[in-house]
Chains A and B, each alone.
Chain A
């Protein structure tokens, strides 16, 4: 029965990982950019939420009202100020710049907040759970996170395929020059894409901060989880990313059941296995 419980918890964990991955996938889809600082931005959002709850005394989830617009603004400024300059045929500049950004963010957060573990208290809903079967409880918080992940992915799909903005994203990512001929300003479109991605990052950060503890150094780990979810699920497929996150979460939990020290390793091994036999992922839609 513990195994079934491990799997159930793993599925719910997959929702959080899908949240980590969705922003990454969005940016790669629109501008073929992989933001190495993605995980650190998630952590930054968590710290931002922490500061807001501590100064305003509001519930962590309520901080989203502030964290989301702030992160969106940061995303737009970051893209237009720095990242737009790195886009082009050479893969080195965006990689190296975002890597530099990652180091700067981690150490900046370290300077400001110290290396202490932090966690936000969401009150009663953190301990509430729904008994589903004998010895299987579904935590309300993880369920909410899973639900948010589904809502986010559905929302992003809606934006991409049913709105003018989404049309602009797809057109610009297809062919920058011709998109410009339609009157679309690439720099602005990419800025909006990054802003949207950081909205998702804001959600990921706040829910990370409520679900587990965090400190300035956990960024790269979140990046890797997001990345693994994307690769397992298949490039260019947001719902695939959800499946990828679930597979990752389940692998980790099964590994932890066997031996607590094997949790992370089990996840990585799952990823490597998929990479070995299905290099393009389980449900790929675009080329990497």
Chain B
């Protein structure tokens, strides 16, 4: 009996639909946090959101575009200093400054990218580090921003965010929450879009992608500039919360690169879910090892090395391979559909 069969493309999975619903519920709960969470909890949540943002962005750069940067702190610091400068010298409202620094950083990233894209692989990575050093040394020379010892955000500007402290904390928190939602949405929809779809191809096989007409250089360039801008916004939020900035803090390799890299590697590089898992693991471990300081970094480093050698796709890679799930599905699967409307999974 011959049956005419049709095929259609499907991108969502059952797991992703469930995760989507759960995500919405969690999001509503998080938005309501100022009403049920204490000050300390909100600060912790903000920190988690901002670290997760940095991790998701670094992952887009390294895990998808293959651009391993150990110099993203350049843009974190640029965002922080940008916010301070815009607010202190140009009277820009701090909340408006957050998106504004993204534009500034994107513009700065253009010539930077042109320069460092001349390097590749590990040399590219060290090149990004040099750029961060140049920024750090540069800002240390700017006396109006406190030079080498840095400066604090004037009270007047702080008060302009909101009148009461509890309102300010809520606003800061919501900004951080908004940031992570924005970053995850941008990353997810970018990768699904015409612009970002080549990234997964580039990551899997650059030569093949090139031979299919993918403009590697331009795709990577776009990703670099995009990540620079968003990273700067995250940096602005970070230092808006800290209320104080200095070159060493703004451009710290440990804080903004080492931790982020470990988060992504342990969670699962090259997947959207990976940084989420990694951030949760990171903060969980930090709770246990809080007192150890440098030893915590050593432990993280060792865990990261073991993960890279034993399970290069991290915790999420292991889970998704074992149970074949994707919460942020990017792959498109083919489903066979009979004219009598019986769906049968072809994959």
Direct A–B contact in complex, judged by CB atoms less than 8 Å apart: yes
A90-103 vs B, CB cutoff 8 Å, 1 = contact: the mask equals: 11111111011101
Known interface pairs A91-B66, A95-B125, A227-B126; A275-B134 also in contact (CB < 8 Å):
no
**CA–CA, A264 to B148, complex, Å?**
14
Taking a contact as CB atoms under 8 Å apart, the answer to whether A261 and B141 are in contact is yes
Cβ of A228 within 8 Å of any chain B Cβ, yes or no, is yes
Q: Is the CB of A111 within 8 A of B295?
A: yes
Which listed segment binds B: A166-174, A237-245, A265-273? A265-273
Question: What residues of chain A have their CB less than 8 Å away from a CB belonging to chain B?
Answer: 33-34, 36, 82, 85-86, 90-97, 99-101, 103-104, 107-108, 110-111, 220, 223-224, 227-228, 231, 261-262, 264-265, 268-269, 271-272, 275-276, 279, 288
Partner of A268, one of B118, B130, B141, B301: B130
| A269 contact set on B, CB distance < 8 A | 134
Q: A100-B305, A101-B305, A107-B298 are in contact. Are A92 and B269 (CB under 8 A)?
A: yes
What are 23 pairs between A and B in contact, CB < 8 Å?
A34-B121, A34-B126, A36-B126, A86-B309, A91-B68, A92-B68, A92-B308, A92-B312, A93-B312, A96-B261, A100-B305, A100-B308, A101-B301, A220-B129, A220-B253, A227-B130, A265-B137, A269-B134, A271-B130, A276-B115, A279-B118, A288-B119, A288-B123
CA distance A92 to B265 in the complex (A): 10
With known contacts A82-B309, A268-B137, A279-B118, A231–B123 Cβ distance under 8 A: yes
A-B contact count (CB 8 A): 118
A17 vs B199: C-alpha distance when bound (angstroms):
38
A276 to B253, CA, bound (A): 25
> Are A92 and B62 closer than 8 Å at their CB atoms?
yes
Knowing A261-B141, A275-B119 are in contact, say whether A223-B126 is a contact too (CB < 8 A). yes
Residue in contact with B122 in the complex, picked from A91, A103, A111, CB distance below 8 Å: A91
Docked pose: A110 CA to B297 CA in angstroms? 11
Task: Point out residues on B near A: beta carbons under 8 Å.
Answer: 62, 66, 68, 70, 115-116, 118-123, 125-127, 129-130, 133-134, 137-138, 140-141, 253-254, 258, 261-262, 265, 269, 294-295, 297-298, 300-302, 304-305, 308-309, 312
**Distance, CA A288 to CA B126, complexed state (A):** 13
Cα–Cα, bound, A271→B304 (Å)? 32
Q: Is the CB of B134 within 8 A of A272?
A: yes
User: A104 with B133: in contact, given A92-B269, A275-B115, A275-B119 (CB under 8 Å)?
Assistant: no
Contact between chains at B258 and A268 (CB < 8 Å)? no
Known: A34-B121, A265-B138. A224 touches B312 (CB 8 A): no
B308 lies within 8 A of A96 (CB): yes
Name the A residues within 8 Å of B68 (CB-CB): 91-92, 95-96
Contact B305 A111 (CB under 8 A): no
Contact B309 A104 (CB under 8 A): no
B123 contacts A34, CB within 8 Å?
Answer: yes
Closest residue of chain A to B297 (Cβ to Cβ) is A107
Could you say which residues of chain B place their CB within 8 Å of the CB of A91?
66, 68, 121-122
Query: What is the distance, in angstroms, from A247's C-beta to the closest C-beta of chain B?
Result: 15
A261 to B121, CA, bound (A): 31
